[in-house]
């Protein structure tokens, strides 16, 4: 692979405005080419690109194409920066009117130096917001695709699509299906902008001279016109890779553009360095339909603010995952202490969740054509979600970690939509850590609040995810939660039910359909605020689960909590895989009495405080 940096533009507007500036602030920059102006952190714009591509293991040669007017500037720069002077190509132009055009400059370098290899071409005078992206990741993605590669980014607020080449990219194949060169306002709603940052295969290089033959005028010899022709007319396969960053100072820009974007990107960088990122995800309770989410059923679940997992990410020199002092113990008071902790909490803490999420995140971005920066970070977590009681503590840590990574690397909602995010979290647990799980927990922790979920086979097959509908939380009854202090006898909830379902056993198949029907009825009850009917449905949900999974599978601890709740006339069911129960008691006096009985039985009891992403709490939040 050979890299060619293009810096042959004639920045007449910017150069003239610097020369005529009356403030005196930019006098030292008079006559300096745009690529040699100070960039982020005081580093010259071209210095950044040279440092990015100056890697012998990736590029056999790097060339620089400039014009005759600025040639001496770049010759001096090459000498000072250990750039081979003989690789500086002079296109002979001295004015904007006499320019060759960007495509002609590239073709000149290839032809004059007799280059016969794949080519990466970059505009060396672009200001890039991200000073740490991984160029090797770009090359790996290019080599994985049967065609050319064009880098694009998502326009920032205020940037007009009419100033850029706009691409339409297939989300599955990443092939660019359409290229619009500086479309007029209103022509397209697309916000994905291509920049002069491309990879071309050796076999495609002859198309450059063909294009130049078709475009004799220099003003038409732009890469925007070239890609419009290649993609829209010639139908060559060109793929897109997103850089989650911004690019500016493209083409003819003025002094105000330079100062504005330099200040904007510099402030962004300082903010990232100074401020840790903290993200939180909440425990959930399954109110209806669980555990049918793993069996193409329907469920309703809710996030609760009583319990949460929190992840903090800070930029650092190396990538560090910090163990939690309680959940990832490495030091014990004695052998007996180790025995007791291991017996109660098992051997697997949260550190493996952080590591698996980071690994899967990198893998996802690489596959999706998103080039990440080479920034490192330190990641730590905290959680108060009780372990092994079925409140989705593991997925909460994964969800919070994913939120932090997305924020750190500027991954947007369009890059990783909510339905895909839920699948991602499930895959971390099932594929990487072999945790038996369904989608319900991950969906409700991504959407947050009260969510109705339909996992029908048709939906899952057609779109890869179900229908997820947030529900109104403005007026909810006082749900309560109780869980075992020692969940060691909470039972092996999933047992052999999955295999029976896969085998088509009628009892299990019909049970999962019944769970779905109960969920639809519960949705109507919630919308109509019919709490008595909702309580009845919760009891029916547990009875159905009990019949399918059997008492031996549910475990004595869960059954004891259910029996205790029913003594006080409360509806009750399992909110997750076992170790906890969720209930609805409409008699406030009996609710207080029930709390005392649970506490006396050695259980932890609390009234649920729903977590509403809108910020309002619509339930009785008694203590």
Q: Any idea which residues carry the catalytic annotation?
A: 441
Q: How far is CA 276 from CA 377, 408, 427, 533, in A?
A: 10, 9, 27, 47
- Give the C-alpha separation, 188 to 569, whole Å: 60
Angstrom distances, CA of residue 8 to CA of 93, 95, 96, 125: 8, 10, 10, 9
Using only C-alpha atoms, what is the Rg of the chain? Answer: 30
Q: Which of 521, 327, 408, 439 is nearest to 130 (CA)?
A: 408
CA distances from 523 to 280, 289, 351, 516, 617 (A): 27, 11, 37, 11, 19
Report which of 180, 219, 203 is spatially closest to residue 98, judged by C-alpha positions. 219
247 - beta bridge partners? 128
* Contact assessment for residue 537 and residue 522, using Cβ atoms and an 8 Å cutoff: yes
Candidates 601, 602, 610, 556; CA nearest to 582 is: 610
CA torsion 333→334→340→342, rounded to 10°? 90
| Triad 186, 192, 198: Cα angle to 5° | 130
CA torsion angle for 23, 27, 31, 34 (degrees, to 10)?
-70
């Amino acid at each position: 692979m050979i890299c060619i940096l293009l810096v042959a533009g004639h920045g007449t507007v910017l150069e003239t405005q610097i020369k005529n500036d009356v403030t005196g602030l930019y006098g030292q920059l008079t006559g300096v080419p745009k690529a040699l102006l100070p960039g982020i952190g005081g580093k010259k714009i071209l210095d950044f690109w040279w440092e990015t591509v100056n890697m012998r293991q990736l590029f056999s040669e790097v060339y620089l194409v400039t014009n005759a007017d600025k040639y001496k500037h770049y010759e001096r720069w090459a000498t000072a920066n250990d750039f081979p002077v003989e690789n500086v190509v002079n296109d002979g132009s001295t004015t904007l009117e006499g320019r060759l055009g960007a495509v002609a400059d590239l073709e000149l370098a290839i032809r004059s130096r007799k280059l016969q290899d794949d080519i990466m071409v970059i505009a060396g005078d672009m200001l890039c917001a991200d000073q740490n992206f991984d160029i090797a990741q770009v090359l790996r993605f290019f080599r994985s695709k049967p065609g050319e590669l064009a880098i694009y980014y998502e326009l920032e607020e205020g940037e007009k699509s009419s100033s850029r080449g706009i691409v339409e990219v297939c989300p599955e194949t990443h092939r660019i299906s359409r290229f619009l060169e500086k479309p007029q306002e209103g022509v397209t709603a697309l916000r994905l902008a291509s920049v002069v940052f491309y990879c071309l295969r050796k076999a495609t290089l002859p198309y450059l001279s063909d294009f130049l033959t078709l475009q004799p005028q220099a003003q038409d010899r732009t890469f925007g016109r070239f890609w419009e022709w290649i993609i829209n007319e010639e139908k060559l396969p060109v793929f897109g890779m997103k850089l989650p960053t911004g690019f500016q100072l493209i083409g003819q820009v003025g002094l105000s553009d330079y100062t504005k974007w330099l200040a904007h990107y510099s402030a962004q960088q300082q903010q990232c360095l100074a401020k840790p990122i903290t993200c939180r995800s909440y425990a959930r309770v399954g109110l209806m339909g669980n555990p049918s989410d793993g069996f193409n059923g329907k469920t309703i679940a809710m996030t609760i603010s009583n319990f949460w997992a929190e992840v903090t990410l800070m930029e650092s020199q190396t990538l560090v995952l910090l163990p939690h002092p309680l959940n990832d113990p490495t030091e014990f008071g004695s052998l007996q202490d180790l025995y007791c902790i291991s017996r109660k909490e098992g051997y697997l803490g949260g550190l493996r969740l952080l590591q698996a999420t980071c690994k899967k995140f990198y893998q996802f971005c690489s596959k999706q054509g998103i080039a990440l920066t080479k920034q490192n970070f330190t990641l730590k977590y905290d959680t108060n979600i009780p372990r092994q009681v079925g409140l989705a503590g593991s997925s909460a840590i994964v969800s919070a970690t994913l939120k932090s990574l997305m924020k750190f690397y500027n991954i947007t909602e369009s890059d990783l939509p909510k339905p895909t995010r839920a699948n991602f979290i499930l895959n971390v647990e099932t594929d990487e850590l072999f945790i038996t799980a369904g989608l319900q927990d991950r969906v409700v922790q991504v959407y947050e609040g009260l969510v109705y979920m339909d996992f029908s086979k048709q939906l899952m097959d057609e779109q890869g995810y179900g229908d997820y509908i947030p529900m109104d939380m403005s007026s909810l009854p006082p749900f309560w939660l109780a869980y075992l202090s020692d969940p060691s006898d909470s039972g092996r909830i999933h047992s052999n039910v999955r295999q029976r379902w896969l085998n088509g056993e009628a009892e299990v198949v019909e049970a999962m359909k019944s769970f779905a029907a109960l969920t639809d009825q519960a949705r109507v009850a919630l919308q109509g605020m019919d709490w008595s009917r909702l309580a009845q449905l919760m009891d029916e949900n547990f009875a159905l689960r009990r019949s399918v999974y059997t008492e031996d599978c549910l475990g004595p601890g869960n059954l004891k909590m259910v029996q205790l709740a029913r003594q006080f006339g409360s509806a009750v069911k399992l909110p997750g895989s076992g170790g906890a129960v969720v209930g609805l008691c409409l008699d406030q006096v009996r609710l207080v009495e029930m709390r005392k009985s649970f506490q006396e039985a050695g259980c932890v009891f609390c009234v649920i405080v729903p977590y509403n992403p809108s910020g309002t709490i619509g339930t009785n939040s008694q203590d």
